[in-house]
Amino acid sequence: MKNAPARMLIVDGDVKMSTNLHSIFERQGYAVTGAWDGEEGLRLLTRTPAYDIVLLETVMPRRNGFDVLREARLAGVTTPIIMLTFQASANDKLRAFHIGADDYVTKPFHIEELAARVKVMLRRSSRPAEHPLDAYDFGNLHVNFSSHTAHRNGAAVRLTAKEFDILRYFVEHRGRTVSRRQILRNVWGIPLEISTRTIDRHVSALRKKIEPDPEDPMWIKTVYGVGYRFVQHPRREEKLHPLLAPSAVPPRFAEDAHVSGA
């Protein structure tokens, strides 16, 4: 049986660019939906079933892409989102990554590179389901999620069942910002609106058990106004500015901004 095509949402107020991308990705086998303003983009992005990948412009009518990204993450959307924009400043890129972007591509760009980034995002987002995580090592900790045991330098670290669940969710989504609502939906597994302070208390308790300094966490970072992010290589990230991470390497410039003839 043939696999269903990946569902792509393109949210871009530049109609010519959006139309060209729509045609290109459809020819590559994607099921593409388009939106030309932020309000419509957010409506489509937060409906179910979820899209597999989203291309999101930052400057649009009615609502900008940064607002759409933030609202989508706060609504519990986990879909990989690649920002497309002429805004190439360091502050814009940092802002996007801090509120939950998975990649940031500046215009103009080579369509081949964008298509490659899309494929990478789709592979990454499918890994947790395809390869269930049984154990993970970070720092001086070894965590076995199957047996619900954790050890630091051979000594047992006692975590509650919920703390194991939260840590597993963070590790499976390492490097990505997850909102409190995502945690509620995917860790608690209930649609009830519990207080976000309940989630924060659980995270605080977990930090006290796994972080060298809970007041200045190395592994579980707070993304203010959104949620949390598990840092896979904290020391490396301290040395490398976030804009130099592999997913943020500036793309090669195309000869024109409208990807015509790609």
Instruction: Tell me the CATH number at 15.
Output: 3.40.50.2300
Shared domain check, 85 and 11: yes
Count of structural domains within the chain:
2
CATH of the domain at 176: 1.10.10.10
Judgement on whether residues 97 and 151 belong to the same structural domain of the protein: no
Residue of 82 and 130 predicted with greater confidence: 82
Q: What is the pLDDT of residue 139?
A: 87
pLDDT in tens, 128-139: 444 457 889 988
Q: Do 178 and 198 fall into the same domain?
A: yes
**C-beta separation of 75 from 48 below 8 A:** no
Q: Would 262 be classed as within a structural domain? A: no
Whether residue 257 is contained in a domain is answered as: no
Most confidently predicted of 99-108, 121-130, 170-179, 206-215? 206-215
Domain co-membership, 125 together with 184: no
Residue 105, class by beta-carbon neighbours within 10 Å (0-12 exposed, 13-18 middle, 19+ buried)?
buried
Q: Could you tell me if 15 and 46 lie in one domain?
A: yes
pLDDT tops 90 at residue 220: yes
pLDDT of 106: 86
For the chain, what is the total number of helices (H) and then of strands (E)?
A: 9, 12
The answer to the question of residue 94 being in a domain is: yes
pLDDT score, position 159: 94
32 and 8 in contact (C-beta within 8 Å)?
yes
Q: Are residues 119 and 225 in the same domain?
A: no
Predicted confidence (pLDDT) per residue in 7-66, tens digit:
999 999 888 888 899 999 999 999 999 998 999 999 998 887 788 999 999 888 888 999
Residue 223 has pLDDT above 50, yes or no: yes
Per the structure, the complete domain to which residue 144 belongs is given by: 135-231
Element (H, E) at 170: helix 161-172
Q: What is the mean pLDDT of residues 99-110?
A: 86
Q: What is the pLDDT of residue 163?
A: 94
Q: Quick check: is 259 in a domain? A: no
Q: What distances in angstroms separate CA 241 from CA 117, 129, 238, 252, 262, one per listed residue?
A: 20, 30, 7, 20, 32
Q: Which letter does DSSP use for residue 55 in this model?
A: E
| The residue to which tokens 């669940």 are assigned | 165
pLDDT at 109 over 90: no
Considering the domain architecture, whether residues 28 and 77 belong to the same structural domain is answered as: yes
